[in-house]
Amino acid sequence: MQVKEALKVKNLSFRYRRDEPLIDDLSFSVLEGEFFGILGPNGSGKTTLLRLILGFLKPLSGSIELFGEDVRTFKRWNKVGYVPQRFHVEKAFTGTVGELFRALAPKEKVGWIIAYLHLEDLLKKQFTKLSGGQQQKVLLALALTTNPDMILLDEPLTGLDIHAQEHIESILKEISRKRTVIVVSHDVGFVLRNADRILCLGMQECRLIKAQELEGMLKELYRLH
């Protein structure tokens, strides 16, 4: 059986206004069902790359395809879930968890995900008053409401204690059984444990590697000796 590409990035370049190019001639593909990690130092363009994939930003040149369709004309956004960095959305989410779900989809459509992640007890609580782990779980659930085939996550473990990290990791493992997962993370252990392949940004040349090759790459990436 032929494995299909969930994402295809070809000769992608991007820069903010008149800055130097942040992403320069980047090409890679993510296969359907793959767990794909994106690593790189602060400021190397990981969040920017996710935002380009989601069509929030326009490339300087190059192309991005989702499920074989150009992102500029892609309409099946219910197939793609996005979990932004928790700290980026915290202030915008002023309502209760239940209100957040209701704003996204009718009750009968979100019931499965609330039950699946055991969120019933959180529905009446203000999002901003939840613990970091609970907030992350809700963000994950919000991104899953349409039962997407692919999910993109930006730093899902940042700021969580070890128990919450383990909990979120186990949910992601479960989710990835039936979906393509693309995750940006600074947690090398997490990426190493889960990713089939890893894209390292912020080196002289961006490189795509298998998880087993990561140790040598990290020494180069973070200038370790």
Ligand X SMILES: Nc1ncnc2c1ncn2[C@@H]1O[C@H](COP(=O)(O)OP(=O)(O)OP(=O)(O)O)[C@@H](O)[C@H]1O
Under the rule (CB under 6 A), what is the footprint of ligand X? 16, 22, 40, 42-48
Given the complex with ligand X, which of 143 and 201 has the nearer CB atom?
Answer: 201
Which element (helix H / strand E) includes 191? Answer: helix 188-194
HSE-CB of 142 using CA atoms within 13 angstroms: 24
Given the complex with ligand X, which of 136 and 146 has the nearer CB atom?
Answer: 136
| Nearest-approach distance from CB 40 to ligand X, in angstroms | 5
Classified as helix, coil or strand, 28 is: strand
Task: Report CA Rg, the chain.
Answer: 18
Given the complex with ligand X, which of 46 and 179 has the nearer CB atom?
Answer: 46
Given the complex with ligand X, which of 47 and 145 has the nearer CB atom?
Answer: 47
Beta-strand ranges (E) seen in 78-196 are 80-83, 150-154, 180-184
| Nearest-approach distance from CB 187 to ligand X, in angstroms | 12
Given the complex with ligand X, which of 122 and 157 has the nearer CB atom?
Answer: 157
- Retrieve residue 78's tokens: 């219910």
| Nearest-approach distance from CB 28 to ligand X, in angstroms | 16
Long-range CB contact pairs, 212-221, < 8 A, 24+: 214/188, 218/39, 218/188, 221/39, 221/40, 221/41
| Nearest-approach distance from CB 224 to ligand X, in angstroms | 17
Given the complex with ligand X, which of 100 and 168 has the nearer CB atom?
Answer: 168
| Nearest-approach distance from CB 116 to ligand X, in angstroms | 29
Contacts of 65 (CB under 8 A, 6+ apart): 5, 7, 8, 10, 71
DSSP string, 33-52: T-EEEEE--TTSSHHHHHHH
| Nearest-approach distance from CB 113 to ligand X, in angstroms | 27
